[in-house]
Amino acid sequence: MLKENLEQVEARIQQACDRAGRDRSEVTLIAVSKTKPADILRDAYDLGVRVFGENKVQELVDKYGVLPDDIRWHMIGHLQRNKVKYMIDKTELIHSVDSVRLAETIEKEAEKHNITANILIEVNVAREESKFGVIPEELDEIVEKIAGFSHLNVKGLMTIAPNVENPEENRAVFARLRKLSVDIANKNVDNMNMSILSMGMTNDYEIAIEEGATMVRVGTGIFGERNYAQV
């Protein structure tokens, strides 16, 4: 099941790249493994998956402890400031920075560990009240402030698009995120580049790739439905 799912997602990524005239190597697939037990992640690992996305610090840390060292862990969920210290040295990229205060905490913890933390800024493009992320109008200001931190590398933007029936409805959201990133890149702010666009989930990753995603976060499409009752 897992093998077939991975093959299907891989084929669809390739097709979306072909439609958009993009090279497959421009898009990183993040296997979103939240709520799934470590032995399932191990199966995915054995099938070649090396990049996993988690949305809870405790879960990420637990799985980090029992799975191989060459896995690259991505924090994709809302991050509480008091938990940064547990995960800062275990993640390749934090997708969900949505305030200067959170960035400040990451900066402090990164300095303690003598590392530079890679982060994305989460943008609430569709202005959904239920979602985290900065609204587009606040982006410039936050980017300028965060760019001054010496232990942070801002690498791009992330968004969680609305939950829609027809993924085409999210095309404009993805196009907007891309436009925002181009606008910021054109300002040539020091300590910052906009090389990563993290957008697209199981329901809409093909559209996201057509609109320029460089990272897609796919959970259900790889691991099947999540059963929150068991967690």
* Chain residues that interact with ligand PLP, rule: CB under 6 A: 32, 34, 55, 76-77, 160, 201-203, 217-221
Q: Least CB distance from residue 212 to ligand PLP, whole Å?
A: 17
Q: Least CB distance from residue 216 to ligand PLP, whole Å?
A: 9
Helix (H, G, I), strand (E, B) or coil at 216: strand
Dihedrals phi, psi of 215, to nearest 5 degrees: -135, 130
Q: Alpha-carbon distance 131 to 99, whole Å?
A: 13
Using Cβ positions, the residue closest to ligand PLP within the complex turns out to be 219
Q: Yes or no: say if 147 and 191 are a contact pair by the CB < 8 Å rule.
A: yes
Shorter beta-carbon distance to ligand PLP: residue 32 or 102: 32
How far is the CA of 191 from the CAs of 89, 200, 207, in angstroms?
Answer: 20, 26, 30
Q: Alpha-carbon distance 3 to 150, whole Å?
A: 42
Shorter beta-carbon distance to ligand PLP: residue 149 or 201: 201
Q: Least CB distance from residue 186 to ligand PLP, whole Å?
A: 27
Shorter beta-carbon distance to ligand PLP: residue 83 or 108: 83
Give the bridge partners for 93, in sequence order. 74
Q: Least CB distance from residue 222 to ligand PLP, whole Å?
A: 8
Shorter beta-carbon distance to ligand PLP: residue 115 or 135: 135
